[in-house]
A and B are shown apart, each in its own frame.
Chain A
Amino acid sequence: MELASLSANLLLISFIAYLVATLFFGGAVKGAKSEATYQNNRWGTIGIAITIIGFVSQVGYFITRWIASGHAPVSNMFEFTTAFGMMLVGAFILLFFIYRTPSLGLFALPIAIIIIGYASMFPREITPLIPALKSYWLTIHVITAALGEAILAISAVAGVVYLLKNVDMTKKSKERFWLEAVVFTLILVVGFIVSSTTFKVTGYEAAFTYVDQNEKPAQMVYHYPPLFGMHQYEALTPGAMEPWAEMPAVINAKTLTTFVWSVGTGIVIYLLMRLIYRRPIAMMFQSFAKKANSQLMDEIGYRSVLIGFPVFTLGALIFAMIWAHEAWSRFWGWDPKEVWALITWLFYAAFLHLRLSRDWEGKKSAWLAVIGFIIIMFNLIAVNLIIAGLHSYA
């Protein structure tokens, strides 16, 4: 237990460090006249130093939790997503040392913060492993795949910086709309974190019995006021809210409830921001991207795909096949999670080939990077929560 609480504290320290480092990168970008002068800016140096401290602390979290539980801490949603956030920061540090650009940090760290915040909404206790997950290959597979995905995700961060700098937000356009949509999606994640934390703090609980897909009785506990009821539900908790509607057996009404609450909260936050700011929210972030060099962001975007693609292939496909062969006796089973790893891989292969022709540099390439990140997130979140397969966690 000692080790487990040490581990939790290390994670908290890293979370705070990333927040502080973001401010310093902000200072670095604000204080500089142009890309050329801010490359060796003091604020930037402090920013990266704090980022590294945070990263080391998070690696400490990872190792101590590993020791405490006896297995690699990538076995449920909380652990895996946290590790993904950690690797995102690691990938950023790597690219920072190649290109020395604080603009990247100013956007990469907040994304990592949101991801770690998102992860913390899932049950955080240490879980023992079921037999199929007890394998060195699994550990190697998951860690390498997450690392590859994190490096690939940096290309989306560079892409967003590129777009914020190069999309004209003063005129109505498709690009403006979609860029605002990207920002809106991030706010929805914040909405999830806010609403989930609120109900956690108030300790809300409502239990139901229901009939599952295979027509067997089952139980479910909601942590949000139930907007939607499971198939043929019956309330167990007296005084809990009566669901608005009952869902068919294939729909997980609990997940749907969480989703609707998060989206609702996100929309409220977004509208409040719009009310105060009175312009598209993306414009608010635009000033932070002004000083980035477009060519440099384009190159970082491409470079991180080049670095991440081989790592992803190794982790998400090759090691995954080796593990699947050991655990389930077949190296490939067309399980949704596997298929989505393949889709991600094909997508980035397409990206690399499109880059061979010149007219796919710049904006188009930046959009592709953003779409790639959406696919990765879809695989990480939606496939786990919605299309449950063999891999579904917790």
Chain B
Amino acid sequence: MNKIKCQCGHDNPFGTVLCESCGRPLTEEAKKSKLVDMRYEGSSRRSQTYKRSIIDKIWNFFSSVKIGVSIIVAVLATSAIGTIFPQKLYVPFTAEADIAAYYERLYGFAGVVYYKLGFHDMYSSWWFKILVGMLGTSIIIASVDRVIPLYKSLKKQRTKRHISFMKRQRIYGEGPSDNPDEALTKAEEKLKALKYNVKTEDGAILAEKGRFSRWGPYVNHTGLIIFLLGVLLRGLPGFYVDETMWIREGEMRAIPGAPGYYLESHQFILENYTKEEAEDVFGEALERVGMIPKNYQTDVTLYKTKDGLPGTADLEKVEDYSIIVNKPLKFSGYNVFQMDYRLDELKAMTFQLTDKASAGSLGEFTVNLVNPEKTYDLGNGARVDLLDYYPDYDGIENGEPVSKSPLPNNPAFIFKMVTAEKPEGEKSFVAIRQTLETEENNYKVNFLSAETRNISGLTIRKDKTLYILLLGGIIFMIGVAQGSYWNHRRIWIQKGTDGELLVAAHTNKNWFSLRKEIDKVKDFAQLPNYEDRKDPESNSQKEGDKA
């Protein structure tokens, strides 16, 4: 495309509104308007210049701030809908049918609609992902569309601007001066004291500060894009591990998701706040709410196989650690968190073999409920054989006892009691609070005591993208701080043709603060009065003050 040549001699790219160098308006529209549109310095942007091909249209769509805001609002609205009822993640069921029933039971018809529309799993739905994707695209395209032209025109600006540029600024003033040269020198001095970068050229001053704040949005958008990329990466294998494990006290297990590592649990501890320790300060609250937990903790030892081979044969101890909420066990990129617990799972039961008639004991034996033995020799010719074991006894089906699960929640046993008196043995079915005999026995097995232990629920996480996310976050913060806490201010002062002075100023935000600074310069250097053309209230007040 052709270049646009300005009267000042500068070649501007096609589509430029204000000459990059002297600021003269170049389009008919800009020439007619009273105030110049200073956004992106009137530079040529692709989205404003090319509008024909499909690619142009897509480009223009995504670079529009209106569209950008619409996408942001769409993400906002969908996110809000997702909070009306709990998300699938927080429903205490896993089977789809149960989940559907849960929504129906608790929320009635609205719950059914919510479930059917897929709002119960909003944040992993394809439309939510597409919206976030569009957001990312829009940020990238809108930034690229603007940043390069903006950079070019800010770099090329001339100190001396054309009068038509000055006159169209929001803040503008002109007036006679007794000694314009002295005013300029004094203004320069004051502006420097106010930490402006001052450039002079042939009776003109350009004072500028905070230009770097103009890059803030682009820096923060870069941060956002890095963050979104990090989120995208978690979909790839190897970047992200998320597993859970249940481990009993005294047990050693391979850590799921972390090949070669083993964990041994020594103890799970649950502590509540006690009245004594907290009487003065917390007494009132404990009184009202009852028990308040103070600590969940699993004491573990971490092991590693020596040569990375699977199998527990060759374990090397890595460390002892207490996993507490908020204090995960960390090793080579993995974190193991305390997430859940179950108290008092049965571990072993102790029984006594007794003679029904005399109630005398023939001895005691202990059954390990996870790994029971077949026979228990009580001496003196007495012996108990464990014929069958049902860890989670659930009644009798078709004449056979059945077990619901391999967990020892409700253990039941069939014992054979062998004694000197009954060498061929007597059979007895023993469950909690229940004993069945096929025929009347002489001996019985009595329950004496049980040993229990706690189980810890742990979560294993590895997240290689965390550092990418953190980097994105840091860059974003630098960018927003840069763009929000600093402003780009420019003040132009120059001599007119008849020895009068012209003052114009522009800032990208916070005009009041800019005006305060100009006032300081004005008072010091006797500059002409100026007007903020968008704040008639203050201008009239100033005149009122003078009167």
Binding site for B on A (CB under 8 A): 1, 4, 34-36, 68-70, 98-99, 123, 125-128, 130-132, 134-135, 213-214, 248-250, 293-296, 299, 302-303, 306-307, 309-310, 313-314, 317-318, 321, 325-331, 333-336, 339-340, 342-343, 346-347, 349-350, 353-354, 356-357, 383, 387, 389
Contact = CB atoms under 8 A, between A and B. Distances in A.
Nearest to B92: A214
A321 B545 CA distance: 53
B273 interface: yes
Contacts of A356: 39, 65
A51 to B, nearest CB: 22
- In which size bucket is the chain B interface? 35 or more
Contact of B83 (A307, A313, A314, A336): A336
Identify whether the interface residues of B are mostly helix, strand, loop, or mixed: helix
B91 to A, nearest CB: 11
Identify whether the interface residues of A are mostly helix, strand, loop, or mixed: helix
Interface in B506-520: 509-513
A34 B281 CA distance: 52
B83 A130 contact: no
Nearest to A302: B509
B282 A126 contact: yes
Given A36-B544, A134-B325, A328-B337, 17 more contacts: A125-B282, A128-B285, A130-B292, A131-B296, A249-B106, A293-B535, A295-B512, A295-B532, A295-B537, A295-B538, A313-B476, A321-B473, A326-B327, A329-B461, A331-B466, A335-B90, A357-B66
Contact of B281 (A4, A123, A331, A339): A4
Nearest to A3: B281
Nearest to B277: A128
Contacts of A353: 65, 68-69, 72
Contacts of A70: 281
B123 A125 contact: no
Contacts, number: 164
B292 to A, nearest CB: 5
A139 B337 CA distance: 20
B484 A295 contact: no
A215 to B, nearest CB: 9
Contacts of A387: 83-84
B65 A299 contact: no
B538 A127 contact: no
Interface string B491-524: 0000000000000000001111100000000000
Contacts of B327: 326
A333 B541 contact: no
Interface stretch (B73-81, B153-161, B245-253): B73-81
A248 B337 CA distance: 36
A310 B481 contact: yes
Contact of B325 (A128, A132, A318, A331): A132
A356 B90 CA distance: 40
A295 B65 contact: no
Q: Which 8 A-B pairs have the closest CB atoms?
A: A125-B284, A131-B325, A329-B337, A295-B535, A127-B285, A306-B484, A346-B76, A336-B83
Nearest to B511: A299
A81 to B, nearest CB: 17
